[in-house]
Chains A and B, each alone.
Chain A
Amino acid sequence: MLPILTRSYLVADPTRVDSIFKRLPRRHKLQEIDRESGEDQYYDTFDWRLYRKKLLFSRSGNRVTLRTFSGIMRCSAAIRKKDRLFAWDFEDSDMASLLKKRIDMRALCPLLSLRYDRRNFRVLNRDRKTVAWITRASQKVLSDSAEIEFPEYLTITSVRGYEKIYENILTILDALKLQHSAGDSELFVQGCIASGRKPLDYGSKFYVELDRSVSVGEAVSRICLDLVDAMEKNYEGVCSDVDSEFLHDFRIAVRRTRSLLSLLRKSLPREQLRVFEAEFKWLGSVTGPLRDNDVYLLKKEVYRNLVPHSLRDGLNLFFDDLAARRSDDLTELKKNLCSTRYRNLLESWKRFLSDPQSELFQGPGKQVCLDLVNKIVRKRFNRFVKEGDQISDQSDDGQFHTLRIRGKKFRYLLEFFRPFYAEREIKLFLKHMKNVQDCLGDFNDLSVQMDMLNDTLEQLNGRNRKTILLAAALGSLITRLKTEQQQVKNAFYSTYEAFRTEENKRLIKQLTDSCRSTKLIRE
């Protein structure tokens, strides 16, 4: 369908509405068709996946609707579940496929409730045909603490083929100097703010603003405080087990922290950091088992499709077991995250990062970060290429894993200090890097998955039907994964060749040469 045009106006003084209506073109009549009042609940994922795509997801009673900011309905469905909604809750429907594409495995959580009172009018031509729609609405945001009332607003919506009349109405309303409003999307933003969240206040992409003259200590402090913030933001979601990505993002923040400390180790106070390094390693290890479990459970459908129909029941037994183990892992993780050890770690870490007297800002921590980072970027790149060149058909899974870790550290390094470099070049380089990393990641995932499946297979006891069924399913899956791993391996060589080109080597040299602290002083 052609996009339906729509525009909203704020009406600060509701008593003006009738006089506004009287100004509509005389040959057109206005007819009130219905009046509706009720409560809409708005949802989005924690990282605003729908809002980023200019989509609004709302619930009215048992009906949920996905609309664009401009009010065009994309999809609608009935569902009873209220607290957290996943794409898979909608089974095989348009809503399920649309949500799968937009939010993937994330949960839609209620953000705010809007109480509305809407009166719908249609503008009729001489044939009494609807040629435009007008909605007069007043809305209140219901938050825990209070009700916040918004000014009344009018929304004009076009009917396809009658856009001229729509334009005429807008001209009249513009002449009355009514203030434009973004309609529902604006209400959504204001409602979120009133309910304690601001759209786009969280995203999993890393970016910390750093200027080129920043010292090592200052850079580490800013980056790590941002990562602590990410851990704290995801903490609640991990403990409440809202969806798997809270833990994923939490772990990435921990991993990034550990990577940064390791990358800049020589310029940081070793003694003081030793404890933190050990504690973050502990945090990584206690969050690992649940994440590993999540990875398998998220792949349930993929795995099921890899084995023949007759073996799927066997695979279900495997996943039932995983789901049971997951619950134990979650209890264990919660215990660790609620421990004094965790609280002390975060408190002392934040103190260490923000105290101006901290060792972090003394000695080598005072040096300009830029030159040091340039050096590490070149070193890490060369090491990655050197080790990548050594990968061959004879290489074992361990070598691929080591290369993946090197690559990951190198990519984190570029992401941490991205503001130092020319945006276009670094973006291009990261894109090339991502292709290699994706390949290595897939290879490693398959390797870890096969190890785990083999372990499970080895631990199977008995000869009952269930065990035989499970063993057959696991065997079939391992075979399929092995074939897939070989395909990924083959793809790696070409991806890597495309990465280690002279052009990319030049790009790294150009990136690091173009910004140096000596140049900075001259400038």
Chain B
Amino acid sequence: MKILAVYSSKGGVGKTASSVNFAYTAHCTGHRVLLCDMDSQGAASYYYRIKPKKKFNRSRLLNGSYYQFIRGTDYTGLDLLPAHFSFRNLDIALKSGQREKNRFILHKLLKPLESEYDIVILDCPPNLTLLSENIIVAADCVVTPVVPTTLSVLALSQLLKLFKKVDCEKRKICAFFSMVEQRKTMHRGVMDKYGAHPIFMENHIPYSAEIEKMGLYRKPVGAGGGVDTPGTVAYRSLWSELYQRRLAP
């Protein structure tokens, strides 16, 4: 089982859209996938039309009894652990014991899923807290969407700093350009400057109304069949590259 965290300390860079589409694309290639919606806003759960069961909350997640709250999506082989409003305080709840040990809580929680899923995708909330440290420790790969703007690049450098702090291998990190608008000079400039860095994937996700409309149709791009759209092709190519470079056994 490989754990992929889609993470950025900056909001609005396309983490949830990427998590939802990565999960769907991975499922289409025959993998058994679990998408964990760690963000209390519950956007990933919303996209998949899944509401958490009434008894589910942060404590159930942290005491390991989350298993019964995993729900199937509309696509066989792709399951989702929905977010709960109480997840907004996950950081506080994680700070229960020794700080060093606290970093491994999520890692231990996900361990029992090993025989059930090939890929676990974590849709992470935008912050730089103990939860972020847990995510970095638990994940086999941390992928961060970077909108080609200064602030987004700054968020990437903060992530690198966090990796150093928790003493994690930098090899785990990779990035891709998200919401790219080629007509914008700044986007082109940032991509030219940083795009060749090995941390960046070759493929990127263009800004697209189709991806924005996911909230309207409440399904991943390309779901439901039909003709391949630019969004579907972009996510498929990016996933394929990401899988080959970082996740393939």
Contacts and interface: CB of A to CB of B under 8 A. Distances in A.
Given A1-B77, A1-B117, A76-B30, A162 B49 contact: no
A122 interface: yes
B148 to A, nearest CB: 35
Interface string A1-19: 1101000000000000000
B197 to A, nearest CB: 33
B71 interface: yes
Contact of B71 (A73, A122, A128, A161): A161
B69 interface: yes
B72 A162 contact: yes
Given A1-B117, A160-B72, A162-B71, A129 B50 contact: yes
Nearest to A130: B74
B72 A161 contact: yes
Contact of A161 (B30, B69, B77): B69
Contacts of B188: none
Nearest to A75: B30
Interface of B: 30, 32, 48-51, 53, 69-74, 76-77, 79, 116-117, 218
Contacts of A130: 72-74
Contacts of B76: 4
Contacts of A252: none
B217 to A, nearest CB: 10
A128 B69 CA distance: 19
B64 to A, nearest CB: 16
A422 B116 CA distance: 42
A103 interface: no
Specify the main secondary structure of chain B where it touches its partner: loop
Interface string A108-127: 00000000000000100001
A4 B116 CA distance: 13
A129 B53 CA distance: 14
B79 to A, nearest CB: 6
A161 B70 contact: yes
Contacts of B69: 161
Nearest to A122: B74
Contact of A129 (B49, B79, B116): B49
B94 to A, nearest CB: 25
Contact of B70 (A4, A122, A127, A160): A160
Contacts of A73: 77
B79 A160 contact: yes
A1 B71 contact: no
10 contacts: A1-B79, A1-B117, A2-B116, A128-B49, A129-B48, A129-B74, A160-B72, A160-B79, A161-B50, A161-B71
